[in-house]
């Protein structure tokens, strides 16, 4: 399946080379989680972040890593607006 990744601020460095304007399509296996996405990009799993999936903020809690993604999901990743 493919998800649309939108990386902002310091997370732009993790974008693949074919990204345009901070956006890229990322291929993942079906039933992949946020953790799988982070792994595919090389972002450490314990990196603090604010994740917004399909426009709904999932906050900065670590439990977001376990969230399952679906085909066509839009995932925006920011530095946390909370926490260290």
Partner 1 sequence: MDAWMGKIIRVNLTYGEYQIEEIDPDYVRPYFGGRGLGSKILFDEMDPQVDPFSPENKLIFMTGPLTGTGAPCGARYMVITKSPLSGTIACSNSGGFFGPELKFAGYDGIIFEGASDEPVYLWINDDEVEIKPAHNLWGKTTHETEDLIRAQIENKYIAKELRVASIGPAGEKLSRIACVINDKNRAAGRSGVGAVMGSKKLKAIAVRGTGRIMLADKEGFQKAIWHSRDILRAGSLTAELLPTLGTPAFVNIINQAHLFPTKNWQETYFEKANDISGETMAETTLKRTRGCFSCPLACGRVTEITDPKYIGMGSAKNKGEGPEYETLNLMGGSCEVNDLSAITKANYLCNELGMDTISAGSTVACAMELYEKGYITEEEMGLKANFGNAEALVLLTEKMGKREGIGDSLADGSYRLAEKYGHPELFMGAKKLEAPGYDPRGAQGIGLNYATGNRGACHVRGFTIVNEIAGIHETIDPLVTEGKAAMVKTLQDITAVIDSAGLCLFIALAPGFLYEEIQSLVNAASGAGYTVEELVVIGERIWNLERLFNLKAGFTKADDTLPKRILEEPGGPKGDVCRLNKMLPEYYQLRGWDENGIPTADKLSELGLE
Q: Which position among 13, 54, 68, 71 is part of the footprint of partner 1 (CB under 8 A)?
A: 54
Residues 8-47 touching partner 1, rule: CB under 8 A, are 8-9, 21-22
**Nearest distance in Å: CB 13, partner 1:** 13
Q: Which position among 50, 65, 69, 73 is part of the footprint of partner 1 (CB under 8 A)?
A: 50
User: Across the beta sheet with 50-53, what order do the strands follow?
Assistant: 23-27, 2-7, 74-78, 50-53, 56-57
Query: Which of 45, 46, 48, 37 lies closest to 15 in space, CA to CA?
Result: 37
Contacting positions for partner 1 (CB under 8 A): 6, 8-9, 21-22, 48, 50, 52, 54-61, 76, 78-84
């Amino acid at each position: 399946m493919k998800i649309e990744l939108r990386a902002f601020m310091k997370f732009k460095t993790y974008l693949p080379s074919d990204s345009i304007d901070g956006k890229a399509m990322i291929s993942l296996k079906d039933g992949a989680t946020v953790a799988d996405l982070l792994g595919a990009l090389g972002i450490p799993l314990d990196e603090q972040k604010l994740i917004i999936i399909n426009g709904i903020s999932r906050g900065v809690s670590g439990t977001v890593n376990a969230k399952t993604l679906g085909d066509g999901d839009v995932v925006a990743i920011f530095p946390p607006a909370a926490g260290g």
